[in-house]
Amino acid sequence: MSRLDETWADRPGWWGFLTTVDHKRIAARYIVTVVAMLFLAGMLALDMRLQLSAANGTRMGPQLYDESFSLHGSTMLFLVSVPVMEAMGIWLVPLMLGARNLAFPRLTAFSYWLYLGGVLMLWVPHALGITPDLGWFEYPPLSGPGYAPGHRADIWAQMITFTEVAALSASVNIAATILKMRPPGMTLARMPFFLWAMLIASLMTIFALPAVMLVTSMLIADRLVSTQFFTPAGGGDVLLFQHLFWFFGHPEVYIIFVPAVGFVSAIVEAFSRRPLFGHIAMVLSLLSISVLAFGLWVHHMFAVGLPRLGNDFYTAASMVIALPAGIQIFCWIATIGSGRPRFATPMLWVVGFIATFVIGGLSGVMVASAPLDLQLTDTYFVVAHFHYVLVGGAMFPLFGAFCYWYPKATGRMMSERWGIIAFVLIVGGFNLGFFPMHILGLEGMPRRVYTYGPEMGWDGLNLLATIGSTVSVLGGLVLVANALLSYWRGAPAGADPWGGPTLEWAAPSPPPPYNFEHTPVVTGVAPLWEHDDLPVMTGLKDDAREVLVTSVLDAIPLYRQHSPAPSIWPLLCALAVSAMFVGSIFTAWAILWGMVPIAVGLILWFWPVRGRATSGPLRARGQ
């Protein structure tokens, strides 16, 4: 026991902080950073709402408003929603697998440092007064060299590069862990739904993100070395940008939403106290969403004047996705209806999610229809729609997940009373604030305007929107305060406060650095509900960092794998990569010379510390 502790512990102090490869510590870092970002971007949103609360507002001018919504949107999507889902995966996947760590522990650290680089890339220039001001997608020619002087657009594009490299590393890590490190007995068929969701989201990330990295790199090339990808006069094509961007952009909303589906399913299962209704149908609908999601991107481009047939096809495809989404909703309702549901805060969030997300889904089907979209595009109807799906469909499940797993992460219970207050404020305030925006959109209020005249008659609903938003931001503060106070004052939680079905509840709360004393052996999808005493497997060393590698389909133990120890190289390599990314805003030579430190860093990171194997498939040749 104490030997395991010694083997897996980090060094104390700063050195331990900088070198750790513990997935729980890194995930906690992610979450804290995300909460800070959520706070800042939320304050920006409130500022915009104050500006819009009455006609002819004078709080902001057009430039400041442009900067505010660009920063708000970019932060919320690239620095909050995507990374927070990765963070939850990084924290939860090994625990749910009964594993000691992720497959590539140092890569986890590298992901976080690069994500932090992305945060700084956007917010440090903002503090210096240089804020990207072209929205969360920066279309050329507006973002091209002729119309976007200075470095604002470059900063945005390079922020994307940072966060996408981070997201790709995290996804590879999570996918490899789920495929190769499941405990004995956890065949694919017995894999909990949340792990399916994380696996599918990671694979989607791996397929979708290269498109946006490509397109922002092309934009940077256009701006830095005068290539002509996006200038028609030079034989380029501005629509190429939109196609590549939305080929990433649409799957991205599912990269955010699919893990949220995983949270909801986990919570519904635990609090209905029965296995998920239609587990297989749920997995299949998730798989079909993940495929369909790559065939919808043109619905973001209905207004650019594509051929009719194209528009019709993408209208139909977009509506098809309502089917698998509907199956999921019905499966959750059936699980709740046929179980013995207990409405603790995590479950309340699920109810809030279902109600809100269904509204967002319905307005989604409306804008998926090309003729209607031509009316509604770039109005507040769209603002209402995407906040309903992003906040209702991703943030509410996230808050539910936060309340659900908080006791596991900290060993303390959150206050149920303040949890309910936060829930009512956030969900009530959100619906109060954002529902009127549908009407404003139908009345023609355009999106991204910094003010409007009194003769438009939009004041009342806008004031309501501001009041609602304020209430929900207050609720957010209550939620965070509850989490902070409960960290010290909460009642001790014990290992399994909710009676959960999956393996993470078998670990102590908070889990020790090595997570589980022994590797669990699994006989069903809800292992903790099947045995009073979880069967375990022994055989992993306790005086060396070892993890178990199993086969992809049937999780048959294959070999014991050495798990890399803490190292400073992920941080140093991330610094080298950051220097290259930042430098390449100013000169193309940074790419060439920046490679040198990165290469040195990677060589030292991967410097072999063990002799070659003398037996098995990896043995050195000639032995």
Partner 1 sequence: MYFSPAALLLALTACEKEARVIAADQPQTSPRGPQDPRAAAYENNAYQVSQGGRYFSWYGCGRCHASGSRGDLASAGARRDLPHLYASIAHGHTSGARIPPEQIWQLAGYIRSLPRIDPARRKRQDRDLRGEPQGPTWTGALR
What residues make contact with ligand HEM under the rule CB under 6 A?
Answer: 42, 45, 48-49, 69-70, 72-73, 76-77, 80-81, 135-136, 383, 387, 390-391, 395, 447-448, 469, 472-473
**Cα–Cα distance measured from residue 493 to residue 429, given in angstroms and rounded to the nearest whole number:** 30
Query: What's the CA angle centered on 166, arms 618 and 559, to 5 degrees?
Result: 25
How many residues sit in the footprint of Cu ion (CB under 5 A)? 1
**34 vs 506, beta carbon nearer ligand HEM:** 34
Tokens matching residue 618: 């990896």
Is residue 63 involved in binding partner 1 (CB under 8 A)?
yes
Residue 559, strand partner residues: 549
CA distance 200 to 555: 18
Q: Give the number of other CB atoms < 10 A from CB of residue 528.
A: 21
CA distance 543 to 615: 22
Are residues 37 and 80 in contact, defined by beta-carbon separation less than 8 angstroms? Answer: yes
Q: How buried is residue 145: exposed, middle or buried, by Cβ count under 10 Å (0-12/13-18/19+)?
A: middle
Please, which residue, 63 or 338, has the CB nearer to partner 1? 63
CB 116 within 8 A of CB 37: no
- When CB distances are held under 5 to 8 angstroms depending on the partner's kind, the choice from Cu ion, ligand HEM, partner 1, none that residue 448 binds is ligand HEM
In the bound complex, what is the minimum distance in angstroms from residue 46's beta carbon to ligand HEM?
Answer: 6
61 lies in the binding site for partner 1 (CB under 8 A): yes
Complete DSSP assignment for 237-248: -HHHHHHHHHHH
385 binds Cu ion (CB under 5 A): no
148 SS3 class = coil
Q: How many CB atoms lie within 10 A of CB 419?
A: 25
The interface partner of residue 408, options being Cu ion, partner 1, ligand HEM, none and the CB cut-off 5 to 8 Å by kind, is none
**Residue 418: its H or E element:** helix 416-442
* Interacting partner of 61 out of Cu ion, partner 1, ligand HEM, none (Cβ under 5 to 8 A depending on kind): partner 1
| Of 60-68, 101-109, 266-274, 525-533: span binding partner 1 (CB under 8 A) | 60-68
Q: Which is nearer to partner 1, 67 or 504 (CB)?
A: 67
By beta-carbon proximity to partner 1, the closer residue of 127 and 609 is: 127
> Smallest gap, in angstroms, from Cβ of residue 356 to ligand HEM?
12
> Which residue's C-beta sits nearest to Cu ion?
250
Given ligand HEM, Cu ion, partner 1, none, residue 135, with its beta carbon under 5 to 8 Å by kind, binds: ligand HEM
Give the nearer residue to ligand HEM in terms of CB position, either 321 or 395.
395
Instruction: Provide the token pair at 211.
Output: 């498109």
- Cα distance between residue 110 and residue 598, in whole Å: 13
250 belongs to the binding site for Cu ion (CB under 5 A) = yes
412 binds Cu ion (CB under 5 A): no
Give the angle subtended at the CA of 37 by the CAs of 36 and 40, to the nearest 5°.
Answer: 90
Q: In the structure encoding, which two tokens stand for residue 19, read together? A: 């070198």
> What's the closest the beta carbon of residue 63 comes to partner 1, in angstroms?
5
Q: Which two tokens stand for residue 457?
A: 């008659």
Q: Among 36, 50, 120, 130, which residue sits at the site for partner 1 (rule: CB under 8 A)?
A: 130
373 lies in the binding site for partner 1 (CB under 8 A): no
Angle between helices 105-127 and 152-180 (to 10 degrees): 160
Stretch that binds Cu ion, among 246-254, 326-334, 408-416, 592-600 (CB under 5 A): 246-254
Nearer to partner 1, 130 or 317 (CB): 130
Is residue 263 a contact partner of residue 194, using CB atoms and an 8 Å limit?
Answer: yes
What's the min distance (Å) between Cβ of 289 and Cu ion?
Answer: 12
* Residue of 22, 86, 133, 164 that binds partner 1 (CB under 8 A): 133
Q: List residues near partner 1 by CB under 8 A.
A: 58, 61-64, 128-130, 133, 141, 144-147, 149-152, 222, 225-226, 228, 231-234
Q: List residues near Cu ion by CB under 5 A.
A: 250
